[in-house]
Structure 1
């Protein structure tokens, strides 16, 4: 289980998160919703150790992730797909995957499992990442994260700017990860897409945690979307 225990974080003197607590269970998709600037991406970066905590702690099971240097957080079992993907664009698809495999010394069986989830990438192993379509690049970013064999996967706007067929393919992979017992923390602005995918939804407002509810309850009470997201 991923647990954020009253974390506060920011950039220099600018505090973004304030006493935020969240939990994501194994085999659960939790979606983080909030307006632009609410601090959603900062939550992801704080979990990964890329933004230092001012207070509080981040836990994965009994391991205190926030006590680790940032480069060790992926090795602990946390995969991260940031907004913008951040691939090694001059390297091939196969080389990007190899970098993911190296982080936790994953073997060829993990590579094969990842390519089974993303068959389109198998057809493009020799291509440079920069030559892929936007949807294929997103698939590669997710595939590289899955090479870590993560217990937790953080996805920041994974369907942004993608065509419907690619969105559907990525959604299928996310659902498959839930079935495999992976805890998924998802930032997504497309509320209707979230309601079809998430188990629970957590709202974030000005860096502070708001209501946490099931997706079914949110479907029955859409007024919270107007309050926290403004759409």
Structure 2
């Protein structure tokens, strides 16, 4: 079943077209990749999909329901969640407080906080430290832990592996694999598929704000990306 369907989405910043007539389908239980160089429009496609910026055209469907008219908060409540670049943790709150803020805002039971800490044991060992003193990898784990506390249907991740150490990348990829295996639709935007190639179920090539190629595996996506880039 296609959990997230984006059809003919367009996004502009003033007179600048960031995304033009883009369509993607992201099934439950899959890892879908959006691959393209920096500035290709991947982040804008995500922001338009979650409603953080207003699209000038297109239809967003979640489990077959048209959510295009809903604002970002309403789409989040429906199960569409983004982990943006930059992690955006609350630097002055402890790790546990970062998780509790999300749990309180979403009216989640306290055991969701414990589940999040159990998923990333390093976070449990750091639970009383301010988010701002965590390493980049630990902050990424915290951002991911916060995002999945509400058990979303679709998880969008914008360059989640940027600047991470190899062992942290392995832990993040393992988590994404587990989430997809549990039925979540996971969508990852990266400028290169080298690190996520083995995890990809399907993917799209994004260039100059357009979806210009599709593929049914990591290997196929690598070939399509190379072809489109003229490599």
TM-score bin (small chain)? over 0.9
Note the C-alpha offset of 1:146: 0.8
Q: Does 1:46 align with 2:48?
A: yes
- The runs of 5 or more residues in structure 2 that have no matched partner are none
1:151 aligned to which of 150, 153, 160:
153
Q: Structure 1 pair 61/179, CA: closer, same or farther in 2 (3 Å)?
A: same
* Corresponding residue number in structure 1 for 2:112: 110
Q: Distance in 1 between matches of 2:101 and 2:5?
A: 27
How many residue pairs get aligned? The number is: 229
1:24 is aligned to 2:15: no
Q: Is the 8 A contact 2:34 2:205 kept in 1?
A: yes
| Per-residue deviation, residues 130-182 of structure 1 (Å, max 9, x unmatched) | 01011000000000101121111010111111110111111111101011111
**Deviation, structure 1 residue 204:** 0.9
Following superposition, the deviation at residue 111 of structure 1 comes to 2.0
Do the aligned partners of 1:11 and 1:51 also contact (CA within 8 Å) in 2? Answer: no
Separation of aligned partners in 2, 1:229 and 1:113: 42
1:217, distance to aligned residue in structure 2 (A): 4.8
Q: Give the Cα–Cα distance (whole angstroms) in 1 for the partners of residues 20 and 174 of structure 2.
A: 34
Q: 2:214 aligns with which of 190, 193, 212?
A: 212
In the alignment, which residue of structure 1 is the partner of 2:101?
99
Query: Residue 202 of structure 1: SS of its match in structure 2?
Result: strand
For residues 141 and 230 of structure 2, what CA distance do their matches in structure 1 show? 30
Does the alignment pair 1:160 with 2:162? yes
Q: Which residue of 2 aligns with 1:191?
A: 193
- TM-score scaled by length of structure 1: 0.93
Distance 1:20 1:190 in 2: 20
1:4 aligned onto 2:26:
no
Match of 1:134 among 125, 136, 161: 136
Indicate how the Cα distance of structure 1 residues 105 and 23 shifts in structure 2: closer, same or farther if over 3 A, else same.
same
- Distance across 2 between alignment mates of 1:67 and 1:105: 24
Q: CA deviation at 1:106?
A: 1.5
CA distance in structure 1 between the aligned counterparts of 2:105 and 2:49, rounded to whole angstroms? 17
Instruction: Indicate the SS of the match to 1:68.
Output: coil
Runs of 4+ in 1 over 3 A off after TM superposition: 227-231
Tell me whether 1:224 sits opposite 2:224 in the alignment: yes
Structure 2: how far apart are the matches of 1:115 and 1:179?
A: 20
* Partner Cα separation in structure 1 for residue 95 and residue 71 of structure 2: 28
